Amino acid sequence: MKYDVIVVGAGLAGLTAVCELIDTGKKVLLVDQELASSIGGQAYWSFGGLFLVDSPEQRRMGVKDSYELAWQDWIGTAGFDRLEDEDSWGYKWAKAYVEFAAGEKYTWLKSKGIKFFPVVGWAERGGSLAGGHGNSVPRFHIVWGTGPGVVEPFAQKVLEAAGKGDIKYKPRHKVTDLLVENGAVVGIIGKELEADDVERGRESSRVEIGEFEYRADAVVIASGGIGANLELVRENWPSRLGTPPNEMVAGVPAYVDGSMLKIAEKIGSRLVNKDRMWHYTEGLKNWNPIWQNHGIRILPGPSSMWFDATGNRFTAPNFPGFDTLSTLEAIQKTGYDYSWFILTEKIIEKEFALSGSEQNLDLTNKSIRDVIKRALPGPPVSVQAFKEYGEDFIIANSLKELVEGMNQLAGNENLDFLHIKEQILARDREIENTFTKDAQVTAIRGARNYIGDKLIRVAKPHKLLDPKAGPLIAVRLNILTRKTLGGLQTNLEGAVLNEEGNRIPGLFAAGEVCGFGGGGVHGYRSLEGTFLGGCLFTGRQVGKYLSN
């Protein structure tokens, strides 16, 4: 049987494209190497944050936002510097996406039944000039239901259509090649994998039990990036971020391996901006891992003091939650793969959140009762579990004891107690007044001018060495792999381009595999909440085009 469209990858981008095609009655085949129970892919594990501009939630929180301000932030953050070449289509996708985020994105999501937590988060705050990197205002909208809540309406529609025979959905089908005839992509070739019953997220069997070949007028690649392939991450690591880390934790399951990028490149597809990637600096080794080397990211408020592995405090803009890649560069240039937060019990109970749907079961399970419990004294349940069982946490009643524990955990004597103490005392003296020369303390006070931060996200400024704020806490932070910012270059219809800039007939891409649009919609940096949104937008655009 010949299909109108084959979609490779049942993650959020692939599902969104299929949903658009279902509405027009196209004959669609959806294939994925994982189990049917893993539908939704990487998006399922996310915190469910979406970038929106001038939303009702923002306005209710007193946030004044606009397309113009959002575009200013995007351009200042992306730093596009290859506009005549690798960034040419990424720039166009970026402009279209910000228009979408400031326009119909909100009502479109609402029409799918998606709802939002009322407090808008302020991620990636920048810490530079107005025209530089970062979000000028809070734009991080958490979906009620987190990642599963984003995936649900699209997965449900696809599964219902498959159940009625309107489309074909074939899990455990791993694509190994694209069929090409007369320069056009006309189908897929691959291996059928044996059935498996592993838990979602765990590495599934790769035992092959058969072969397949399917043909279609168009093939859409929606297979994700390279975040779990640590060797490929190191291979493409940019020199501007220092040497590649020897030790990293994986923020995504093993199936995020980049295999379809090589398959597409082999038939002439152009892969651009391979040196652009988005990895986090606040990774924890998961005490209760689902996949191998499973890492969890801390979503920090701005108050923790951040030190490198030798005990020197980072300077602006390298404060918690301000500039991810600048801090990553600073860490890697120390020659070590880790850094440290030092904070208090008062800070952790208000400012620490953990990324991921499984770390936020109150929001994921849509339990208002459990969400309200976050206002009670003490850190969230998932954070408390890491305090008790996570290997990266040190808790002590004195700074000397804390520093000794940090050195013991690191297996070296890099940290000098007196040097750490002097830096903390200097910072604590700046708390005496409501004005200060310490840029981080100024940022903390500024953050509390936003009602959302003051209520649930930023602790009242206090001295770290105040016994009433204790005990003291140190957290070792690992490099956590996450997103591929480059990818297959595509035009605004989602058609994959070749090295000459011409479209490859029959081949399209959506989601992370195409850098969330054009081979790099983010440029060098992300404003956060833009990865899920990029999957939705590119999947929607490709699906709409192929529906005609």
Using CB atoms within 10 A of its CB, is residue 71 exposed (0-12), middle (13-18) or buried (19+)? middle
What is the amino acid identity at position 425?
Answer: L
pTM, entire model: 0.97
Q: Which class is 2-223+485-547 in CATH?
A: alpha beta
**Tokens at residue 311, please?**
């005990």
| Residue 211 · residue 192 · CB < 8 Å | yes
Closest to 477 measured CA to CA, from 345, 253, 307: 307
Give residue 251's pLDDT. 96
Q: How many CA atoms lie within 13 A of 124 on its CB side?
A: 25
Give residue 374's pLDDT. 85
| Residue 304 · residue 343 · CB < 8 Å | yes
Beta strand extents in 286-386 (DSSP E only): 295-299, 305-308, 338-344, 353-354
Give residue 70's pLDDT. 98
CA atoms of 303 and 292, how far apart (whole Å): 31
CA atoms of 517 and 540, how far apart (whole Å): 11
Give residue 128's pLDDT. 87
**Those residues with Cβ within 8 angstroms of residue 110's Cβ, 6 or more apart along the chain or in another chain:** none
Condensed to tens digits (0 to 9), the pLDDT of residues 311-363 reads 999 999 999 999 999 999 999 999 999 999 999 999 999 999 999 999 999 99
CA atoms of 479 and 299, how far apart (whole Å): 14
DSSP letter assigned to residue 184: E
**Those residues with Cβ within 8 angstroms of residue 83's Cβ, 6 or more apart along the chain or in another chain:** 91
Three-class SS state of 467:
helix
* Phi, psi for residue 6 in degrees, rounded to 5: -110, 130
Q: Kindly list the domain boundaries of the chain, sorted by start residue.
A: 2-223+485-547, 279-480
Residue with tokens 């192929």: 546
Q: Which residues of the chain have pLDDT under 50?
A: none
Using CB atoms within 10 A of its CB, is residue 435 exposed (0-12), middle (13-18) or buried (19+)? exposed
**Which residues sit opposite 179 in a β-bridge?**
187
Three-class SS state of 447:
helix
| Residue 302 · residue 314 · CB < 8 Å | no
